[in-house]
Structure formats: structure tokens, C-alpha cells
Structure 1
Amino acid sequence: MTVAALPSSSPLLRSSFQELATVSQAILDAMPTALYVCSADGAILRYNRRAAELWGRKPRPGETDERYCGSFRLYHLDGRPLAHADTLMAQVLRTGEPAHGLEVLIELPDGSRRTVLVQIEPLLNDQGGVLGAINCFQDISDRKVLELKLRQSRQDLEDFFENGAVGLHLVAADGTILRANRAELDLLGYTADEYIGRPIADFHADAPVIRDILQRLSRGETLDRYPARLKAKGGSIRHVLITSNVHFRNGEFHNTRCFTVDVTDQHRADEALRDSQQRLAVTYDQAPIGIAEMDAAGRFVRVNAALSAIIGYAPEELVGRSFLELTHPEDRDNDAEQYARQVRGEIAHYSIQKRFLRRDGGIFFVNVLSSSVLDQQGQFRYGVRVVQDVTEQRQAEERLRESERHVRELLEALPAAIYTTDAAGRITYYNQAAVEFSGRRPILGSDEWCVTWRLFTPDGTLLPHDQCPMAVALKEGRAVRGAEAIAERPDGTRVPFIPFPTPLRDASGRVIGAINMLVDITERKQAEEHQRVLIDELNHRVKNTLATVQSIATQTIRTSPAIVTFSGNFEARLLSLRRRTSC
């Protein structure tokens, strides 16, 4: 590539960027990042090999018809076209203000597009006038794809919670409601402000029931469709089944995760069954969920159309058969035991989730609520079983788990060191690349702020972990960019790197943790040091040459009686010096 020469009298040569403007093309091409230099009018004066590779083309240096950027086309991140005259480089040349950490979309001649991160510095003379600018830019397309996938995965999880058909809520160890989804709020008729942040006991109609629920959960028990009554807005009562367990963090009670299924209609149906057999018959025909009557031996006596459709058998094919015949072998014993207790009068009702075997060979999950109808003496007459198909719900839960596993596998496959922390800075996850980067395996829940053994600032000063960029991102609730640090491994080796800590927030905007990526810049630092050595050597040689010229001039003055004689003698000695230095 032809290099456009700068005037030797330009103040640019006295600026901090004069080395870059004069170094050889080989040094520019050795730099690990793409860069180019523009004059004040936007003409591209110099660029390195990496810049040409990112552009997919080689502009002609000094060409004024093609200014500000060597990209074939430019776009805003949202896809809107961006004229070369409106680029960040053009703005820097107009204002003299630098532009750091900004992103832009470039298009190559083959039509492909890449996202690049630009760092532009103006080149100023002694009076502050703009002589040109230098742009160091890097391809971050892969990182943007990863960020998009992570955002989409998190959005999917948030969408599952917020828009699920079943009521969901989280409760703290002290009984305070931390979060609730739209189905939960709609179930009880409250707004989020009226519901979240209040004790869960305020919404239970039966104080002993909520005390029993909280005590069981505090012992680490799992509740499966626990019956309860909730107070809705306006004073009405909603009968629900609560499935809940506890999320323990570092062995301590963090919060409960509760699924609230509204069974108010089912409860009313049970009351109607006890009041009138005729009303039950109407309910059979109209109910949108499966209902069956069972004798004491567990055989179907009557089956409605919905249950027939769920199981795949005609009602007449089910009558006389035991429900255990159609139950998955692994679920039979539990259901049989519960039903036997119900028949003996030990329990009035029970709920269970199990698997049914369809006629076509398929397996599906159902929630079963089994209740007793008693005779006048209070003895078991027959059982009523309400069956709800929850196969899609189970599949959605499985897809959620698969999504989480996929994200974890994706993070493990990345070549960059990545780790996460909770809001207090305790490390909650790290990938294998983080182990290789730090030379150690961090202790989850114990190590804080960073996976490294020790940290130092670029000048070698010890950097406490609680003052590192990750700590700043968590404490100030903002992403930290542009910082550099040095990590020391347990074996004493040191690695310069750039961190990219970013806070993670919940739906309310509260910081719940952070994710950090550590980029090893050892090769870049080595290239910078090599460049500095070359520049120092060049400066040293120039100074020696000037000293020699000064000495020749002094000697010539001493031996020349007139200015005419001095001119001839000085020129001859300079030519002699040139012949010696050329050998």
C-alpha cells in the first residue's frame, strides 16, 4: 500500500501520534487491531492489513473522493443507512472531540455485514486545531450474536414466568411476597403494588393453613397441590392448590417458588356433588375437564366426554375398568394407596399428579383431584375424580430446563473467560476458559468479585478485588468498559486483560448479579512494547545523526574564512557523511 506523506513541518509530527504517522507499514500490519488515519479533510492517509480485511477492500491513500472510512457501505445499528460524511470519524474531524466505545454496522463488497466497535482520537496541533484523526476498530459481530442469544434466553424465561397460564409467585423467608405473575394477580384481582411486598399470610383465609405451609417449606419439604383458600380483592374466596418448594442459596432459605392453581370451580363442583346426584350428571356433560365416578375398587362407573377424550377410550370402554390399568406402572402404587385411604374414610380427598397411558400408546401427565361422596351414615359411597391434562405444562417446564442447559453449554464452549456473581459479588458460575485464564478453580459462593488469584492495575499497583471493575459494576449498577487490569495466577505468571462486567437485573430493574468476560490482551501488549522499542531506537539514531551534523557544521565554521567557502566545505562533508552511512 502506498503511504501518503505528511508535510515535515506539520505539527502532527510533534503530537503524541507522530510515531504512528511515520512508522513502517510492517509495524502497522503487526498491530492486533484494525486502524486507519485520516487527514483533516477526511482523506484516508494510512491503514493496516486488518483494516483492509474488515473492509473487504483497499481504498487508495489520499483519495479525496473516498473519505472518512474505507467501508463499502455503513449503517446505523438499527439498519438505517449511514452516509460516510455522517460517520463518527467525520464528527471527530469536525468537533475535535474523541469518540470511544461506539458501535456501527459496516457492509463489505460481498454484501455481508459486520458490527464493529470504534475508538477514534483526533490529531491536534499545538493550538488545538484538528490535523486529522486515528480510528482503531474491531469486529464484535460474534459478541453481538452471543449477547442477542443471552438476551433472548433471558426474555424467554421472563416470558414463561410473566405470561404462564398458572399463577406463580415467590415468597421470601420472612413470608413477604417478592414477585407474582399476571395469572396470579388476575386470579385474586389485585394490582402488583397491592400484592407484591406484603406478607403472604394477609391473603390466606385460614391462618393455620398458611402457618403449616410456611413451616413445611422452612423444613425443606415440597408441597404438591396443597389445598388452600385465598382472599381475593372485594372479599371473595378462591380455592387453590399450591405446589411449592424452597430455593436454598448457600444452604440458606432464599425464597419459595409457588404454583397456584385455581380450583374454585372444582371445589364448587364437589359441593354440588354432595348436594345432588342430578346436578353432578349435568356437571359431567358440561365440564371442560375430565370427571369420573369410581367404585370402592377403583373401577370406572361413569365417565364424561372430556375424560374420554383425554384418555382416548370411549366412555363405554372405560366403564368397569380400573383406573390403575391406565396408570403408568411407576405411578400406580402411590395413587392406589391414596385411593384406598380415601375409601376407608381416613382422608376425604387427595390430589396427585401422575401419568396416564393413552389408547394410542402415548403417555400424558394429569392432575387428579379425588373426592368422596358419602351416604347418610357417612360411609364411602363412590369417588369422584377430576382429571386435568397438564402435559403441555410439563413439556414447557422441560423446554425451560433444556434452554437453561443450552445456555450453560454455550457459555462452556466459549473460548473467553466468563463468570457470573450474585448481587453481593459472590461467584455463582464460571466456565472452563475462566479456569484456564486464572490458573485456578474458584470456589462458588465463597470467592468474590473476580475469578483471579490477584489483580493489579496496568502500572503494577495492587488492585483489591473489591475495587475491581466487576465490583464497580455491581456497586454502581452500570456496565464498565474500557478498563484494563493485570491478573496474577498462583504460579506467579501475569496476564493483561480487558474486563467487560455487566449487571444483571430482574423485571423490576433491581440488580441481582452480574456477568463478566475477561479478554486476554497479552499479544496486543507485546506488540505495543515491540513498537515502543522500535520507536525508541529510531529516535536514538536520529539524535545521533543530528549530533554528527551539528559537529560537522561547527568544525566547518572554524576552518572556513568566508561564507562562500563554508557552504562548499559543509556540503562536501555532508556528502561524505552520506556515503559512510549508506555503506
Structure 2
Amino acid sequence: MDALKNLLERIELLEAEKDRLSRRVADLDDFVENAPLPLRWVSASGTIIWANQAELDMLGYTKEEYIGSSMNNHHADPKAYEKILALLKSDGSVQNFAASLRRKDGSVKHVLITSNVVIENGEFVRTRCFTKDISDIYEKDERRKRLLQQLEESEERLRLAVDSTKMGTCDWDMQTGAIHISQEGRKVLGLTAHEKIEVDSLLARLDEADRRTLEQKMQTFINNPSGRHLDINLRFYRVNDNSLRWIRFRGTLYFSFQNNPSRFVASILDITDAKLAKENDARLAAIIQSSNDAIVGKTLEGYVTSWNTAAERMFGYKEEEMVGQSILTIIPEDRKDEEDFILSRLRTGESVEHFETKRVTKSGQLIDVSLRISPIKDSEGNIIGISKIARDITEKKQEEQRKNDFVTMVSHEIKTPMTSILAYAQLLSKHLKTNNDGKGLLMSSKVEAQSKKVINMVQDYLSISRLEEGKLELQKEAFELHPLIAEVIEDAILLGSKHRITYTGCDNVIVQADRNKIGQVLTNLIGNAVKYSPLGGDITVQCQKVGSRAKISIRDMGIGISERDQEKLFNRFYRVNNEKARNISGFGIGLYLIAEILRHHNSSIQVDSKEGEGSVFSFELDLIE
């Protein structure tokens, strides 16, 4: 009976212990489920098999969404999960592994994961993971890193800015007298890297007037502590070479609690170049404004950026009327294509010199102008604009026209009687030839040759006049070169030449050209060969077929032409600068006329010459087969 009683008491105790253990398990389950620390179990295959509410809340999932999903899908970096598994398999646990878990809404939580492995019967069954949310700490740390990086970048930008401006710094303790000047500041003032600095010796190197100005300003600051900022340009004699430089001091004066000046901190910048450039700009601006020539600045698109006083006088538009407007405002309708041509050349860096054209004023009057146009470049050589200088040459053009009209009139007046004289000389030659008067025939031939020379000279002047008026007309025809060359050579010999003039290769050469104009070309070239070979010698005219063209060359053994003179040889009124040619007559129009006549024949005159060795002039004409 006692044994039964003891058994019942023991069963009752066991029931009570079981109830107590059940309550503790329930309490423990509740504690784990509702613990503030996120917890989860993950199977060996990587599937989530359990998670507490803190874990679900941290990632924003319901239990149904989270349990059964793959843990790898929740890692922002899948490689991190692979590393965790590798550590668990090798070590059995991981401590505070930094990882990033992706929430349901796509945002990321930065966490520390601590995990260990549950082994049953020697097999990897699952892992127990404790997750610590460190997102706030991580963000603060990231912000701190970003701020440090920005600070470093700011410091570097400041250093680069200071270096690029060659700016130094100065820190003067006014109570102890100690002064610190940065390395760049020392360079500005001409101090060596370790040279001892004394304030008084530096102040003594200031220009006397500027030193007094500085002392007055500093005294003003001391008497009025509210105005503590100083910005002043001073002339300073550098320590190392005593050169005078403009230095800008920009800084702040600090005061002690007793209102005494205690410290002066300033930047030091050499502004000599800027100061001189500003003065130079002022001088240039004054020159531009006082110039008698119109000086206009414009963009590469042709919009006016500057317009000086002379431009106002010349074109009638005020500066405020033209700045910002297109330059086409002053270009006549029939000349607007010129602007495209000019701009295309300037964009490649070329300049345009002495370009003669017409412009229209505000009143509608057409004026003649000579333009000099240049590209405006920045410090790196990039073209950023255009400078145009315009000179009014209307009166000059009118004067040239009056001169041309006079030359034309006189030439006509001379040509008419000379043509009659030539005709009578030719009749006289026939008569004398019939009467076998050899001496008279020679004299009449001379009269005939000289008459032709004058008529050719008059013809040259008339041709130039027509060229300038744009009225030179060509009467092209097919003709044989041989007879024309023979005529020109015969006339040259009749003028008393002591040269031997021959021609070769000119038989059966038929060209398409203006016979009279080509006659002028040959007369001038052979005449020049005679004139510029004062000692005599051979003059050879050679014809040569080159493809579909005939090449005509005139070779002499004269004084030759320098390379410098060859560059300007075909300019109007140009004479070679040669002591040997000083006494040779001429007006410098023959070669200019030759070049223009040939240009109208789609050809050009070429020269090959050396001083003391003679010259070869050549040109080409279209052949007729």
C-alpha cells in the first residue's frame, strides 16, 4: 500500500515537472519567436525552414512568403552566400560576416551574420543564423567616408587652384613678430626656401608711396576693428633680383580680446603680368578708338562684337546699333557670297590682306573699301573670332578712275596718229623698195619698227585700263604660232637688237587663242629678254607640245631675277630691285599684263631664273589638232 502511494506521489511530481517544462518550452518558443534579434534556420540545401518575426519584419516578408524560399535569392551579392556556406562546411561556424540582404521592396539591409551548423548522425542538417541589422551604422560610416572623400577632393581642388594661380600665403603673429610665408609666397617675394624673414625688411622693400598707403590702412583697421578685411595692390622690389613687381595682398586682420591686433593672415599673388596686360589692353583700346580705319570684331558666325568710332563715321551706324547684329548689314546683296569665302579662309587660320570690295552705308551709299581680315585666337591657339580693318578707298578709286580715263584718252589720241605714221612708213618702204633705195628703206624700216613699239606700248595701257574696268574681251580663233612668232622677232630685230633671236619647234603648231593678245604677250616677253640682256647673247623661243597644250618658252642669257623679286614679279608697277637693271627703262606693267591676258586664257606665266644666269619664261595654250 505504501509502495502504491509513493508511486502516485511520484507520478504527480512528474506531471507537475512536465507541466513546468512545457510552460518553459512555450516561454522559450515565445521568446525566440518574438526576440528582437532576427533568427532563421536554413537547410543544408539552402532553403529557409524557419524564421522568427524579427527576421520577417527586417526583410518585409510574411511567413508564407519567406519560409521555403532559397536563402541565396535574398543575398544582394550571391557570392557572399557561397562564401558563408564554404566557411560553415570547413569551420562549422561564422562570426559577424558582413553581408547585404535584399528586402521585399528592393531596398538593401546591411547586416552581420553569425551562424553555426547542426550535425545529426554526422551529417550537415541545417544552420542556425543570427542576423544583426547594422544598416544605420553602415550608412553613417558610408556618409563619413563620402564626407572624408569630399573633403580630400576639396582640399585637392583648393591646392590645385592655389598652385594654378601661383598664390602664396602669409601668416603674421603681430604680438610675437613671427611670420610664416608659404613656399609659393616665398617665390613671389623672391625669398629662398629657408631664408630668415623679418617684417621690417620686407616692408622696406615696398614702394615708398605704397608703404605709406599700407600703414594708413593698417592704422584705420586698428582704430576701427569692425573693418578687418584688406585687399590691396602694392609695388614690391623682389628680394633676389630687386625687380619691381605688383603684388596683391588679400587677407584678414584678427584682434585679441583686448581689441589689440594679434594676427594677420593673407594670400600673396603676383599680378604684374595682369597689371601690364590691363594697361596694354587700355592702350590698344585707345588706339582702336582713335584709329582712322574702321576696326570691327565679329564671331565666326559673322555677328559683330565690337565697333569703333571710325566704323561709326564710315558706315553711319552707332556701336549700339551694330553690336550683336550680322555683318551682312553693311554688305551689298551682290557681294554677300564674299563673306562665306572670307569666313572659310579664316576658319583655317589664314589671313586676308588688302581685299578690295564695296560696302553699303546706313544711308544706302556704296563705298569702296580695302579690308584686312585676321583670325582672333585664344591663348591655346583656338580661333574664337575675327578682326576686320576697313579703309575707305572711295576717293582713291575715283582718282584711279580719273587717271585711267586720262590714260585711255591720251592713248587713243596717240594711237590714231601713230597708226597713220605706221601706214605712211609702210607705204614709203614699198616705194623705196621699188626704187632700190637701200639706205632710205633701212630708215623707213626703223620708223616702222619704232611706230609699232609706240603702238604696242599704247595697246598695253589700253589693255590694262580695260582689265581694271572688267572689259577685257578675247576674240579667240585658231591660228598658227609660227607666223606670229616670226613677226614679233622681226620687229624686235628691226629695233636694233644686238642679240641673236631664234625659234624652234614652232612649225605646224596651231592654237586656240586671241591672236592679238598673244602677240602682246610675245612682244613683251621678247622685248624684256632683249632689255634685260644688255650684253647681248642668244634669245631662244621654243614651242613644245605637252598633251593637249602647246608650251611656249622664251629663254635669255641676261642678268636673271632673284627669288625675292620673282614672288612679286607679276604685280602691277613692280620693278626688280637690281643694280644692273636700274638704268633699264620700263613702268612695271608688261609682266602684269601678260599674267592677266594668260589668266583670261585659262593659263599662267611661269618663270625659272637665277641671278647672273638668265631667265626662262613659259606659258601654255590650248592646241588645235
Confirm or deny a common fold (TM above 0.5).
Answer: no
Q: Looking at both structures, which has the greater relative contact order when contacts are Cα pairs under 8 Å and sequence separation is at least 6?
A: 1
Larger radius of gyration: 2
Structure number having the greater helix percentage:
2
For normalisation by structure 2, the TM-score amounts to: 0.32
